[in-house]
Each structure stands twice: as C-alpha cells, then as structure tokens.
Amino acid sequence: MNNPPQFTWDDLQFFLAVARTGQLSTAARQLRSSHATVSRRIDRLEFTLKVKLFERNPRGYVLTAMGTRFVETAEKMEQETERLRADLADGSMAQRGLVRFSAPEGFANFFFATVLHRFAAQHPHLSLELVTIQQIMSLSRKEADLSVVLDEPKGGPYFAEKLTDYHLQIYGSRDYLAKAPAITCREDLLEHPFVSYIEEMIFAPGLDYLSDVHPRIKPQFQSSSIFAQLTATRNGLGLCILPYFFASRYPELVRVLPEEIDLKRHYWITCHRDLKQAPRVRAVIDFLREAVRGEDARFVPPYVTPAGPARRSEAES
C-alpha cells in the first residue's frame, strides 16, 4: 500500500512567502531561493493537499478562499516553530531571520539609520529590510512585519505601543530670514511662502498640521518627501514645519516663533498580533524601545518636559 504524499515545514515557508508577497520572484529573494524552486514547492503543496491555494494571473499569485484559511494554520505552525527554536537556542542565536520594517521617511533616515550599527552588533543573525514608502505598506496583508506609524491603529488584530512623542516647529534658513519681513506673531506668517506636503498625498492625519499653525496658510512648494522639504527650506525657499529631531541638526536653520508654536505628535510601533512574540520581531521592538528611551533629548526641545512612560495597547477585532 502506497503512503500518501507528505508536505514539510519547508513547503509551508514557501507557501507563506508567496501568500505574503503575491509574487514568486519576491518570495524567492526572501527565501534566498529561485523562482523555479518556489513554483515547484507551491505546486507540490497543492498536489499533496489536493486543493488549490492560489489563483495564478499576470499580476501574481492571489490566495483562494481555501488558501486564505490555510494561511492561518500555517502561521500558527510558524509561530510554534519560532518558539521552539527560541527554546532550543541561546541568547542572540534565538533571533534569526528577516524582518521587514516600515517607518516614515524622517524617522527611518534621521533616527533609525543612525542607531542601525548598534542593532547589527546586538543581532548579527537578523537581516532587516527598511521600507520608507509607508503609505503602500499593509500589516493586514503582511507586506511588513513591523511598522512605526504616526497614528495609533484603530481596531483590527494589531499590537500597538506608543514609542515616543516628537515635536515640530517652524524653521527658515538664516539667509532667508535675514531678507524676509520680520515675524513677530502668527499673522506675520501669511507674508511668507511655505513648504509643505502635497495635501492629497498626506497618508497619515498626523502630517496634516498647517491648519494647526494658521488656517489661511497656503504652501507655495509641496512635496511628498520630507527630504525635499528640508532641502528646499535650507536653500531659502521659505518656511517649513519640520521635526525638531532632525531640523535641529542644521545650524543654518532657525526656529520661528518657537515659544508660541510647538506641535506635538507621536510615533507608534505596531505589528500584527500574531507576530508580536516572534523572536525576530520581538528583537526589533525591544531594540527600538530602548534606543528611543536613551535619546529623549533628540525628540523633545530643551524647554519642553518629556512625556511619561509610553502607553501600550492591543486592539483585537
């Protein structure tokens, strides 16, 4: 009597990679495998289970209804496997694998990138993918394992924890301010060109702050990139609302009405609840928490009292 065909944990890893990315080539890169191998593993898994897990189309692989149900089972097995590996391994050896981390452009480049060498030293077996195009990333579709966001997730199966407050103020270059009309109150701001985000492309309510300064401000130059806004401001194009933690690095930038205009926003760290205890994800969460705690002065101007302990929440559907 022939034994029924069996599938292995490796087959499930290939399945999850394709389910999360929707592309054989992307899954192959993550798994350090080949396009052909990934395709062969998916075909073998479907043959073994005698069920169709994906619909193939020119845009990629789309989960069938049965495939969507199977993701839940495969992810539970993934979590148990990671817990077992953590129990069997010691110390840093427990944190292995790849973490895709999504963060806003400013936080990613002006904070996280500056402490990345410390993370690499602490976790030499972890690989990171840092994505700064946050508006197209989706935790629900597992396009990112972990995200830093500006607004706390409302509802859904997510873990969320406030990472830090950060402050924004109005900045202008010394050269620009030396030639421009004096600014002594908010009304004077209307005499100056502003640099800001493109209104239709603001992907988080926390970035919509011009009206908090003055409802009649109309930006002259708009960009979806905070880098472009920073560069334009440094080159004297006008005034701009910028986070203190990176604008303060540039001596040519001067704060405008700093005692009167100080906007507070928050960074939240969030991930799918199912991934919260995965050792590789936990390692990044713990590192970010400690890194931010040790650098409060970078996010809060010296005349502002830092906030108390971060609040944690876990919303469930």
Summarised one tens digit per residue, pLDDT across range 108-146 is 999 999 999 999 999 998 999 998 875 544 554 557 889
Q: Would you state the pLDDT for residue 222?
A: 93
Higher pLDDT, 316 or 117: 117
Partnered with residue 102 across adjacent β-strands are 131, 147
**CA–CA dist 239, 236 (Å, integer):** 8
Burial class (CB in 10 A: 0-12, 13-18, 19+), 263: middle
- pLDDT tens for each residue of 65-78: 999 888 888 888 88
The backbone torsions φ and ψ at residue 315, rounded to the nearest 5 degrees and listed phi first, read -90, 140
Residue 97 — very low, low, confident or very high, per pLDDT cuts 50/70/90?
A: confident
Q: What is the mean pLDDT of residues 192-203?
A: 88
Burial class (CB in 10 A: 0-12, 13-18, 19+), 273: middle
Locate 246 and state its tokens. Answer: 């990176």
Question: Under the phi-then-psi rule, with left for phi > 0, alpha for psi from -120 to 50, and beta for the rest, what region is 69?
Answer: alpha
Residue 13 — very low, low, confident or very high, per pLDDT cuts 50/70/90?
A: confident
Instruction: Tell whether the model's pLDDT for residue 312 goes beyond 50.
Output: no
Instruction: Tell whether the model's pLDDT for residue 216 goes beyond 70.
Output: yes
Cα dihedral angle (290, 296, 299, 301), rounded to 10 degrees?
180
Average pLDDT, the chain: 84
CA distances, 75 to each of 81, 91, 160, 236, 244 (Å): 10, 24, 20, 52, 40
Instruction: Tell whether the model's pLDDT for residue 309 goes beyond 50.
Output: no
Locate 294 and state its tokens. Answer: 């040790």
Q: Would you state the pLDDT for residue 314?
A: 43
Q: Would you state the pLDDT for residue 236?
A: 96
Q: Would you state the pLDDT for residue 1?
A: 46
Report the percentage of the chain scoring pLDDT > 70. 86
Instruction: Tell whether the model's pLDDT for residue 274 goes beyond 90.
Output: no
**CA–CA dist 193, 191 (Å, integer):** 7
Position of tokens 């607004």? 151
Number of CB atoms found within 10 A of residue 109's CB: 16
Q: What is the mean pLDDT of residues 230-241?
A: 96
Residue 89 — very low, low, confident or very high, per pLDDT cuts 50/70/90?
A: low
Q: Which of 97-101, 151-155, 255-259, 281-285 has the lowest mean pLDDT?
A: 151-155
Q: Would you state the pLDDT for residue 2?
A: 52
Q: Which of 20-29, 153-162, 189-198, 304-313 has the lowest mean pLDDT?
A: 304-313
- Segment of 72-86, 132-146, 198-212 carrying the highest mean pLDDT: 198-212
Instruction: Tell whether the model's pLDDT for residue 8 goes beyond 50.
Output: yes
Report the percentage of the chain scoring pLDDT > 90. 49
